[in-house]
Amino acid sequence: MIAAAKDPSEHVRQSLAEGLGAMASAAERAKRATLARGESRPPRRRWFRPADRALPFDSVALIVSTLRKLLTDTHAAVRCQAAVSLGQAADLAGPAVTDLVMRLGDTDETVRCTAAAALGQTGMGGEQAIQGLVETLEDPSADVRSAAARALGEYGKVANPAVSKLVALLQDRDEGVREVAAEALAKVGPMGDAAMATLVGGLASPDNMVRAQTAEALGTIGAPMEDAAEALADSLRDSNDVVRAKAAEALGKIGESAAEVAVPRLVKALRDKDSWVSALAAEALGEMGAGADGAIPALIKALSHVNAQVRGNAATALGKQGPAAERARLPLERAAADEDGGVRTAAVRALGTLGRFSSGTVKVVKRSIDDADPDVRAAGVEALTEAELPNAELENILLPLLADANDEVKVQAIKALAGQTGATSDVVQKLCHLLENDDSSWVQVNAALGLARMGPEGVVAGPALLRAARTGDTSVREQAMKALAIIQPAEAREAFTVGLKDPAAEVRLIASAGWMRAESVPPEAIQALVDALKDPEGQVRANAAYALSRLEKLPPNAVAPLLGCTSDPNESLRINATLALRNAPADETEDAMLHLLEDPNGRVRLLAAGVLLRSDSTHPGAMAVAIAARTDPSPRVRQAADELMVSLEQEPEPVAQATV
């Protein structure tokens, strides 16, 4: 492969760079997995790990070295792929940092972008890399500037010296660059006083665009209230409507901490000559929490504004005040009949937050259920769940909505019925019908969720859930399987057995977990569980092993795959496989148990010791493990070790019954 770096075809060289990137990525993942297992130092040799096959060279070093050479290729596509591949290598690409910094000045824009991204992925190079990226923030290409800012964000606090340059980028002419710069600042901050003063100073610029972009930036980065709120509040009086709008929006993003300064100015902005500014002011007041209590009269008045967006935002803001906005009840009830559907939606939703419903509110919300606008109907369903209506009355109102033409309305009705009326026969029947016949998988998924919420009371839904678990879309099969696991109808056994062979890993995972919760494991499911011990998903194998451990007698054909599972890096799988092997013939498992006495996991070691002590209560290695486990850091292991030792003293023969 390395020889292909000199191939005359640029396509071959590019493919080589791509392949080396995949290998470097695999090496980096293996390194992370090793560190996650706490093996930063070479581990003791374990029986279940193949002996390392030593290579006459350092493969990772050779991969990185070759990619460094490809960074200087005459073809931009090859250089670009080499940079991408070095990024995949993450910190293993440390030796290539200097080369990547040089590529930040490449003649090709795409190469400059990928070199910046790769530096961010490696997180290596310290001052050299950060300085190179800071200089790249002035690149003539917006895409390159964005890539450099994003990479600096990946360095985190280490890149704090770049704050001032990133602050300057908040006033970039390109919106995408400004957004990335704000995201990066949130990661590399905090901003120093000088940088913050520079940014806030932009609000006094003679350039309208600079003032607007500054206001936008202060909101995006969530500037501290004491630094920005006063200046932004002053900008609500700016002569430019865009600046005023951006200032209102920014104050809303800063939120409640700015309320003391912002609320009085935002109230005045509700009367701004530009409706866009007024709408954003109303929206911002909704984010001021309890501090906006004094704005309630102004928001009520804004419900009559000529602009529908202002009216809708005012209704939403009043809803966010909750019961404190009780005085807005009648105005909101009138707004629920507004000519604009968005206003009606916001008003109905707000009425649901005011607390105990009045008779007038109940009538208004009931009327919304028949509104021509589906958003209003959906809001009406949400509000009705707060109305404290008798379950039978609520059921009569909501059941017809399960046949609504709009999916959002149906989903809201499903949630309300499942949460409040319970598993009545009509509700279960309607949900089963949706589960099997609706043309929207989103609705079907929510129907399954609704049935699951009913718990064992939804047992009559078993047949419908079984059919959905076998024939629906992946998301539907998954949720139907979850519902079966929760409800546990008679059909759950068949579903879990079939689910173990489902093409979707998420479905197999739930099916295997279902057997862990099932009351018992029937004979017809055993072979499927044995087959699941070879599933590509480790957790599926672990669940299957646990289910097999519940059998009084382990099937002979399960022993070999379970023995193989005891050498898996997955700790849960090794634990459950060892649990299951307790019920296998001792002569078939003795060698494995001896090796498991040295397993890195204390529970596995203790389980293996228990198995060996069943045959020989004085086994020295097993006894040493059991004694050591009594001082294990895990309380669970210590308790199990104590129980094992007690059982050895009292009943030497049945020691194997001790469990972890």
Block means of pLDDT (10 residues each) for the chain, 660 residues, are 86 92 84 55 39 59 92 94 93 91 95 95 90 95 96 91 87 88 83 80 87 84 70 94 95 90 96 96 94 94 97 97 96 97 98 94 96 97 92 94 96 94 92 96 97 93 96 93 94 95 95 91 94 95 95 93 92 94 92 93 93 90 92 91 83 39
DSSP state of 57: S
Helices (H), 488-522: 492-499, 505-517
CB 130 within 8 A of CB 162: yes
Residue 342 lies in a domain: no
What distance in Å separates the CA atoms of residue 479 and residue 498, rounded to the nearest whole number? 15
Distance, first Cα to last Cα, the chain = 49
Domain range for 611 is 585-660
Number of domains in the chain: 1
Asked whether residue 437 is assigned to any structural domain, the reply reads no
The rounded distance, in Å, linking the Cα atoms of 282 and 248 is 9
Does residue 644 sit within a domain? yes
Return the residue matching tokens 């993942």.
29
The DSSP symbol for 239 reads S
Q: What is the Cα–Cα distance from 431 to 164, expressed in whole angstroms?
A: 57
Is the preceding peptide bond at 190 cis, omega within 30 degrees of 0?
yes
* pLDDT score, position 227: 67
Q: What is the DSSP string of 24-56?
A: HHHHHHHHHHHHHTT-SSPPPP-TTSPPP---S
pLDDT of residue 55: 52
pLDDT at position 414, please?
96
Would you say residue 623 lies in a domain?
yes
CA distances from 535 to 265, 524, 574, 577 (A): 63, 19, 15, 14
Q: Is residue 474 part of a domain?
A: no
**Which 3 state secondary structure label does DSSP give 423?**
coil
Which pLDDT value is given to residue 365?
96
Q: Assess if residue 655 is contained within a domain.
A: yes
In a domain, 617, yes or no: yes
pLDDT of residue 214: 86
What is the pLDDT, as a whole number, of residue 435?
Answer: 96
Res 50: pLDDT: 41
- pLDDT at position 217 is 81
pLDDT for 478:
96
CA 201, CA 481: separation in Å to the nearest integer? 58
Q: Looking at residue 213, what is its pLDDT?
A: 84
Residue 9 lies in a domain: no
